[in-house]
Amino acid sequence: MKEIKTFQQMYRDGHVNRREFLSAMGALGITATTAGSLLTSASALAATPTRGGSVIWASNIHGPDDTLDPILGTSTIDYTRANTMYNGLIQVWDDMSLHPELAEEWSVNSNATEYTFKIRKGVEFHNGGELTASDVVWSMNRHIADGSPSSIKAYFSSVIEWKAVDKYTVKLSLSSPDSDVAYKLTVPQAKIIKKNSMDKWGAGTGPYTLDAFQAGVKSVHSRNNNYWRDTGQWLDGIELTAITDPTARAQALMAGSVDMIIIPPNNLLKRIEATGKHTVLSTPAGVYGGICCLKNTEPGSNDDFVEGLRYIMDREKMVRKVLKGHGTVGNDHPINKSYGADHCHELPQKAYDPEKAKWHFNKSGYSEAELYVAPVAAGIEDAMLIAQADAKKIGFNLKLKRVPSDGYWGAVWMKEPLNVVSWLQRPTANMMMAIQFGPHGNWNDTFWNSDRMGELLKGSLAETDAGKRHEMHCEMQKLVSTESGIVIPYHTNILDAHDSKIKGFSNCPLGSFGGNGWAEHIWREA
């Protein structure tokens, strides 16, 4: 049974304790005797976590706000900091299953318009005071307030109200069905903070507290000795920073000045492993690198120009040469096989076809264009060099304007007519599509607005028939791949590298090092 193996692995990795394992087995209908034997077999293979030590983790960039406030998070370092300092109501595990966090249980009515959450008792904030329903209501209302800066505001467009029923019960009422609510509450931006707390230093309940914060430089964290959960938190301290240059980041790892890095350069993977002291993690996922063609300005508003770009992408070559096999070809929409049943396998794969590219470019009237490029996605610079060379063969001048990754998301993304982009996987296809392609969404980075897309996003949340829901997701993917301004030549595995003495990583496809919640679970061997 897949669920049993998942829980055994979680126990071996230190992600659940004995009590949680046995409770999970009971929920699956496993007898106490059988559960005990399963625990014994898992224990025999379990590594023994060691308490103590610290790690320095290096991201690729600081976010434009480099924030302590989870609602403002836009980058991997923001998400990791949020998971280090805060908890959410619900969490998602490696197998994409949902599990209680600050909400010890939840329920939903038959048409997915009303959710009830029972808040865990006895959870303390870092700066004192018990978590209650009022903290949850205040935190969640920040996403729907007029003028809210929340990057996930579109997730909660159907919310009527969050209401505290009593001290430990919260009710959510929706104007229309939303079967994805529980998954939406697992993202880093949906963390719970202390009511009316503008001092983010102590506003969390998470596994690590904040000792120091220098925006654009680093944050330093220590173990929360009053944490409500009795598993994990093996490290004494964690430092989160960023090294923008991929080569410099890899060299820092190999030199021992940092212990963990995201997005190691593909051309240095073998060198990293050859040290004998470091490990490369490669997790298949829906992460992607691509091109945003802004539909509200030229040349992105020209459909033939966008089609020309799509046909000039030698996707298989990019995966083979640039990603070194650590990825899959893209089809100009974000929903790949990592999304399971939501992936539209029926949609024909866009081919590399220089002649079609030439025909569309000629029809568009464009013979050249300038693309802003920064190392914000694995291999994106080298991939665009391949596209540039192939475009030149058919007489099209794809000029690459190289810019640093520092400040990229604030100064270039969604501002320049053509710019490269990277996106992490979201828990569900609807969430991914809504945040990037929902009409007038905060992160609609190609400025493509489709009434039909809005209808499908809303309808799929209310549809309980799996077949009909799949049809809706297929139509969404077709719309994006033919009408939007996004070009997605490939999906990358999530690539990370770390000191081999650091253990306890999982393989969740939703973020670096098995998800951005790695801080709670990893340990360092002496």
User: Six-digit token pair at 331?
Assistant: 């089809």
The average pLDDT across 446-456 equals: 95
**Dihedral angle of Cα 372, 376, 380, 382, to the nearest 10 degrees:** 90
Q: Which tens digit of pLDDT belongs to each residue from 285-311?
A: 999 999 999 999 999 999 999 999 999
Considering only CA atoms, give the Rg of the chain: 23
> Do residue 321 and residue 388 come from a single domain?
yes
Residue 135, domain extent: 87-190
Question: Is the previous residue joined to 299 through a cis bond, with omega within 30 degrees of 0?
Answer: yes
Residue 237 predicted with pLDDT over 80: yes
Residue 39 predicted with pLDDT over 80: no
The average pLDDT across 474-484 equals: 97
> Do residue 216 and residue 364 come from a single domain?
no
> Do residue 435 and residue 470 come from a single domain?
yes
Q: What would you measure as the largest C-alpha separation in the chain, in angstroms? A: 73
Confidence of residue 406 (pLDDT cuts 50, 70, 90): confident
Alpha carbons 389 and 399: distance in angstroms, whole number? 10
Q: Which tens digit of pLDDT belongs to each residue from 385-405?
A: 999 999 999 999 999 999 998
Continuous H helices in 211-353 = 246-255, 269-274, 303-311, 315-317
- pLDDT score of 35: 53
CATH code (residue 358): 3.10.105.10
The average pLDDT across 420-424 equals: 94
> Do residue 325 and residue 253 come from a single domain?
no
DSSP state of 457: H
Has residue 421 been placed in a domain?
yes
Residue 6 predicted with pLDDT over 70: no
Residue 85 predicted with pLDDT over 90: yes
Q: Which tens digit of pLDDT belongs to each residue from 92-151?
A: 988 888 999 999 999 999 889 999 999 999 999 999 999 999 999 999 999 999 999 898
Mean pLDDT (the chain) is 90
- The strand pairing partners of 130, in sequence order, are 124
Return all residues near 110 (Cβ < 8 A) that are at least 6 apart. none
> Do residue 382 and residue 257 come from a single domain?
no
How many structural domains compose the chain? Answer: 4
| Side chain identity at residue 445, one-letter code | D
Residue of 217, 222, 74, 208 whose CA lies nearest to 152: 74
CATH code (residue 184): 3.90.76.10
> Do residue 329 and residue 374 come from a single domain?
yes
Has residue 195 been placed in a domain?
no
Q: Which tens digit of pLDDT belongs to each residue from 177-202?
A: 999 999 999 999 999 999 998 777 88
Residue 64 predicted with pLDDT over 80: no
Residue 43 predicted with pLDDT over 50: no
> Do residue 241 and residue 291 come from a single domain?
no
Residue 54 host element (H or E): strand 54-59
Has residue 213 been placed in a domain?
yes
Has residue 200 been placed in a domain?
no
- pLDDT score of 40: 43
Alpha carbons 469 and 118: distance in angstroms, whole number? 30
DSSP state of 67: -
- pLDDT score of 18: 53
> Do residue 319 and residue 405 come from a single domain?
yes
Has residue 198 been placed in a domain?
no
Q: Which tens digit of pLDDT belongs to each residue from 331-344?
A: 999 999 999 889 99
- pLDDT score of 507: 85
Has residue 197 been placed in a domain?
no
DSSP state of 301: T
> Do residue 93 and residue 222 come from a single domain?
no
- The strand pairing partners of 491, in sequence order, are 288, 328
CATH code (residue 262): 3.40.190.10
Has residue 383 been placed in a domain?
yes
Confidence of residue 365 (pLDDT cuts 50, 70, 90): very high
> Do residue 451 and residue 511 come from a single domain?
no
The average pLDDT across 261-284 equals: 93
**Dihedral angle of Cα 166, 169, 170, 171, to the nearest 10 degrees:** -90
> Do residue 312 and residue 407 come from a single domain?
yes
Look at 120-134, 235-249, 509-523 and tell me which has the smallest mean pLDDT: 509-523
- pLDDT score of 405: 87
Residue 31 predicted with pLDDT over 70: no
> Do residue 109 and residue 94 come from a single domain?
yes
Has residue 201 been placed in a domain?
no
> Strand 103-108 and strand 98-100: pairing?
unpaired
